């Protein structure tokens, strides 16, 4: 068979290293927070990742399990590499979070630290979701062909999801802390930085975070999904004054007003009649 011919001709350990060495080196070169880059063009559209290292890790996992690369005798090595790549992604997110806390210039990858952290947060969730879907569609059938019980493999991915959620919660806390710090440092410039309606940059940031979190919670509740700790974050991010909702803007909510309320109130208002003891106009002449 073709597989036997490959096994007879090549050393599988050498084959594994040849296939993975270049890919892993690229991942390692993008791990440092100071090397943070964002995806652009086709990479962003195809992979759905915002950060380059996340895109590289996802592409590496997809490559090693592709039909033209995968070999059954090295399935254990490929799975081990998959877990190590997921671990690298968690380590990268933690390093990015630490850098955001200590970065004197408050920037990462050329953008504000809080923006970089939110990009990492999205990538953590997206990578777990995409790898899990790929496992169900491609990995599990291959392992089942080998007579392997996939339940333990699934538990590994579930564990990664739990760790990713924990990092996301830490990122949420740091972003809100960053907003608090920004608000304190700008407090003396509040009047100068306020808009025509009296809102400051701090107010606007808080309002947007509050709206985004509230929108995520409402979407989750519609699907019977409730994220632990999200309500606490929403309350913490609630601004003192919430800006009026803008029609058509995603994530905003317009207060429910009973139909006809405005009209009824207008209709019920009666013109004010002058007191009975008021003199008629001709009496003054």
Which ranges in the chain belong to alpha helices (H)? 2-9, 12-29, 41-47, 52-64, 75-102, 113-134, 140-145, 151-185, 190-193, 201-222, 230-237, 261-268
Residue closest to 61 by CA, chosen among 70, 48, 74, 73:
70
* Spatial distance between the Cα atoms of 117 and 115, rounded to a whole number of angstroms: 5
pLDDT at 96: 93
Across 216-220, 247-251, 278-282, least confident range: 247-251
3-state secondary structure 60-82: HHHHHCCCCCCCHHHHHHHHHHH
Q: Are 106 and 75 in contact (CB under 8 A)?
A: no
Strand pairing partners for 111? 108
pLDDT at 65: 94
Q: Are 171 and 118 in contact (CB under 8 A)?
A: yes
pLDDT at 274: 45
Q: Which residue has the higher pLDDT, 183 or 126?
A: 126
The model's pLDDT over 155-164, given as tens digits with 9 standing for 90+, comes to 999 999 999 9
pLDDT at 117 over 50: yes
pLDDT at 7: 53
Residue closest to 56 by CA, chosen among 122, 116, 112, 123:
123
Helix axes 113-134, 151-185, angle to 10 degrees: 170
| SS3 state of residue 99 | helix
Average pLDDT rounded to a whole number, residues 177-182: 70
pLDDT at 223: 72
In a 13 Å sphere around the CA of 20, the CA atoms on its Cβ side amount to 22
pLDDT at 242: 56
pLDDT at 113: 87
Q: Which of 23-32, 168-177, 266-275 has the highest mean pLDDT?
A: 23-32
The model's pLDDT over 180-237, given as tens digits with 9 standing for 90+, comes to 666 555 555 554 545 555 666 667 777 888 888 888 778 778 877 776 677 877 887 7
Q: Provide the residue count of the chain.
A: 285
Average pLDDT rounded to a whole number, residues 83-111: 87
**43, 51, 112, 216 from 96: Cα distances, Å:** 21, 12, 12, 24
In a 13 Å sphere around the CA of 174, the CA atoms on its Cβ side amount to 26
pLDDT at 83: 95
The model's pLDDT over 64-78, given as tens digits with 9 standing for 90+, comes to 999 988 988 899 999
Residue closest to 69 by CA, chosen among 10, 27, 133, 121:
10
């Amino acid at each position: 068979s073709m597989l036997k011919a490959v096994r007879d001709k090549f050393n599988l350990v050498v084959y594994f290293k040849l296939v993975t060495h270049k890919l892993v080196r690229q991942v390692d070169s993008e791990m440092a927070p100071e090397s943070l880059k964002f995806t652009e063009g086709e990479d962003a559209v195809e992979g759905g990742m915002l950060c380059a290292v996340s895109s590289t890790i996802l592409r590496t996992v997809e490559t090693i399990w592709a039909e033209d690369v995968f070999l059954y005798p090295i399935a254990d090595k490929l799975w081990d590499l998959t877990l190590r790549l997921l671990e690298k992604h968690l380590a990268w997110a933690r390093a990015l979070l630490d850098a955001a806390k200590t970065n004197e210039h408050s920037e990462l990858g050329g953008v504000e630290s809080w923006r970089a952290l939110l990009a990492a947060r999205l990538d953590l969730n997206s990578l777990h979701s995409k790898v899990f879907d790929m496992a169900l569609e491609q990995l599990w059938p291959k392992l089942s062909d080998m007579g392997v019980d996939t339940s333990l493999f699934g538990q590994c991915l579930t564990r990664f999801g739990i760790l990713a959620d924990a990092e996301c919660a830490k990122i949420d806390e740091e972003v809100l802390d960053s907003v608090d710090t920004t608000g304190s440092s700008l407090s003396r410039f509040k009047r100068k930085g306020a808009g025509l309606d009296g809102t400051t940059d701090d107010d606007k940031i808080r309002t947007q975070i509050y709206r985004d979190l509230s929108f995520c919670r409402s979407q989750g509740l519609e699907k019977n999904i409730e994220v632990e700790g999200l309500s606490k974050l929403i309350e913490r991010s609630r601004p003192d004054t919430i800006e009026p909702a803008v029609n058509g803007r995603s994530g905003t909510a317009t207060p429910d007003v009973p139909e006809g309320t405005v009209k009824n109130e207008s209709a019920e208002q009666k013109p004010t009649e002058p007191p009975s003891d008021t003199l008629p106009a001709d009496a003054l002449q």
